[in-house]
Structure 1
Amino acid sequence: MGRAENRLILASTSPQRRAILEQLRIPFDVVAPTYVERDPPGLDPDELVRAHAQGKARSVHQGDQVTLGVDTTVAYDGRVYGKPDDVEDARRMLHDLSGQTHSVVSGLCLLGPNIDVVVHEVTRVTFRSLADQLIALYLESGEWEGRAGGYAIQGVGGRLVERIEGDYRNVVGLPGALLVSLLELHAPNLLEMP
């Protein structure tokens, strides 16, 4: 197999997803997806992230390459918490999640020769009871920007978390164990270490 066939195409510009693939030593190239996310009413969080992951992967997939699309959201009490629109939206999200257990749901779509798989992973995250002062300090950090649920567990946002149940990397943005399992089944050549 040629060099291009031994590299995953990541349909995402997320630095966190790139870092996880690097940690797992999976060779990849980044292609920014052209897919525009729209949230149709009535979809469950797992259906929503699977649809977005599939849309992202399909928007960049070509030929014989193996392409990965990923989407992550936060769900609590029947609501979906995507990326906050502004600091007040982030404040509302953190207040809602304070002292509660929420779900971080990621959808993965893997496309390639004879590969068309769409799955999802759920990780449960429990926040500490957050004082208004802690929320204000966190918001001042700016780390909430562009983060589903308004926080980044791998940064200062880790201070907000009491415990997690499931794959930590899923909360960061890419469920590594699930991805490795999919690649073992469908594209084991991508797991060969140099």
Structure 2
Amino acid sequence: MSGESHPLFVLASRSPQRRRILELLGVPFVVERTEVGEEQRGEPRAVAIANACRKARAVRADLPVLGADTVVALDGAVLGEPNDAGEARSFLARLAGRTHTVTSAICLRTPDGEERIAERSARVAFRKLGARDIDWYVASGEWRGRAGGYAIQLRGMALVERVEGDPTAVVGLPVAALLELWPGLVHCEPLAPLQGHGHG
């Protein structure tokens, strides 16, 4: 649990960066790791939403459950988590010198099964990268478990030229979207009844 207060929700995620964002916001929560099969093909926004909802549905709790997913897409094709160093190198070579889209979706599931969904996207421009740059990053191992094979908040920042849009969407948890679904969260207020947000 984050903090000593009674947790407000369950984070259904293995992602340390999502936990860190929530800790920085100062909200109390508990983590339950989920192992669900994730979609890797399809329209990127739809893929992100479907995966976020799968994660939220995988946890049964008396508290709201937050599922999240991040999708990196280039030319409309989803670049998932690389299976090995060779695939990570291939992803980075494809992204080098180009602009791609990162979409993070969240699904906030209430104990009675209501789902509130939101997403945010950003465009990320990579620098032109040489083989030496790519080898340096792949050797760091940071690509493991990262959509598109990089982490912008860590060494991966050296790969990026600019970001257009919500930077927290690139990290993996769009804060503005979360507060759209749960406006009182940063004030540690319980989730209020649905008032025209999200989808059921």
User: Would you say same fold, with TM above 0.5?
Assistant: yes
Q: How does 1:2-81 map to 2 (within 5 A)?
A: 4=6, 6-39=7-40, 41=41, 43-63=42-62, 65-81=63-79
In structure 2, how many angstroms separate the alpha carbons of the residues matched to 1:25 and 1:175?
16
**Aligned match of 1:174:** 173
**Contact kept? 1:53, 1:109, Cα under 8 Å:** yes
In structure 2, how many angstroms separate the alpha carbons of the residues matched to 1:71 and 1:181?
17
* % identity of equivalent residues: 46
1:191 maps to 2:186: yes
SS at match of 1:57: helix
In structure 1, how many angstroms separate the alpha carbons of the residues matched to 2:93 and 2:115?
39
1:89 maps to 2:87: yes
**Contact kept? 1:46, 1:105, Cα under 8 Å:** yes
**Contact kept? 1:61, 1:111, Cα under 8 Å:** no
**Aligned match of 2:108:** 110
**Contact kept? 2:39, 2:50, Cα under 8 Å:** no
Segments of 5+ residues of structure 2 without an aligned counterpart are 190-200
Q: How many residues are paired up?
A: 184
SS at match of 1:16: helix
Segments of 5+ residues of structure 1 without an aligned counterpart are none
- Could you tell which deviates more after superposition, 6-15 or 71-80? 6-15
In structure 1, how many angstroms separate the alpha carbons of the residues matched to 2:96 and 2:35?
35
Q: How does 1:135-174 map to 2 (within 5 A)?
A: 135-174=134-173
Write out the 4+ residue segments of structure 1 that deviate beyond 3 Å after TM superposition.
none
C-alpha RMSD over aligned residues = 1.8
* Structure 1 position 34, deviation (Å): 4.0
Q: Give the TM-score taking structure 2 as reference length.
A: 0.86
